[in-house]
Structure 1
Amino acid sequence: MKTLVVLVLCSLAAVCLTSDAGPQPAGDNPAQDEMFVEREQASTVVRQKRAAAELTLTQLESLREVCEANMACENMMDVSGIIAAYTAYYGPIPY
């Protein structure tokens, strides 16, 4: 078993030493500059709003419990639905 580990490590070292793709300077690769974006731009691309259909029954029930503590939210929940009421009174849905 030890022989196999030593053989794998030696072959890995040989491949690393003989490869001609060494480290490249940071300024030579223009594609690398395009790989990074600003935090605000990344959050708008990555963060997507969830549709009401994606919430599970447990999640809807927890929203309902929060909304029931506020009488105005509870009334709006009866008229407009739990998603609209929770969003109006407490902001975006946390999950």
Structure 2
Amino acid sequence: MKTLVVLLLCSLAVICLTSVAATDVQPASDHPSQDGLFAEREQASSVVRQKRAAGQLSLTQLESLREVCEANLACEDMMDTEGIIAAYTAYYGPIPY
């Protein structure tokens, strides 16, 4: 009996919530123009984080790349000859930061 009452109350709540949500929906023709969704390139570039060049990595970031590369002997050998940026990129792909 308790299960039936709980089930009935839950279904009543779902019906009420969906009927309220359905009345709040406006037809597509009543929506204002979607110009607010788009931004100018200059404004967007100031908001979105730009990828930094390899020379702009901090010492901490370079050390973390070095630690990852030292786990692989081939990467470590390449790191000694070509540099950490080239070795990491060759074995692990683009630098994540």
- Normalised to the residue count of structure 2, the TM-score between the two structures is 0.51
- 1:75 maps to which of 74, 77, 90: 77
Q: Which residue of 1 aligns with 2:25?
A: none
Q: 1:29 deviation in Å?
A: 2.4
Pairing 1:35–2:38 present: yes
Q: Structure 1 regions of 5+ residues with no counterpart?
A: 1-24, 37-41
Greater displacement, 48-57 / 70-79: 48-57
Pairing 1:58–2:60 present: yes
Task: Name the count of aligned residue pairs.
Answer: 61
Q: Cα distance 1:30–1:74, how it changes in 2: closer, same or farther (>3 A)?
A: closer
- Normalised to the residue count of structure 1, the TM-score between the two structures is 0.52
Q: 1:80 deviation in Å?
A: 1.3
User: Which string of whole-angstrom CA distances, capped at 9 and with x for unpartnered residues, describes residues 46-95 of structure 1?
Assistant: 46432122211111111111111111101111111101110110112122
Give the secondary structure class of the aligned counterpart of 1:50: coil
Q: Percent identity?
A: 72
In 2, Cα distance between the equivalents of 1:30 and 1:52?
Answer: 38
In 1, Cα distance between the equivalents of 2:96 and 2:69?
Answer: 14
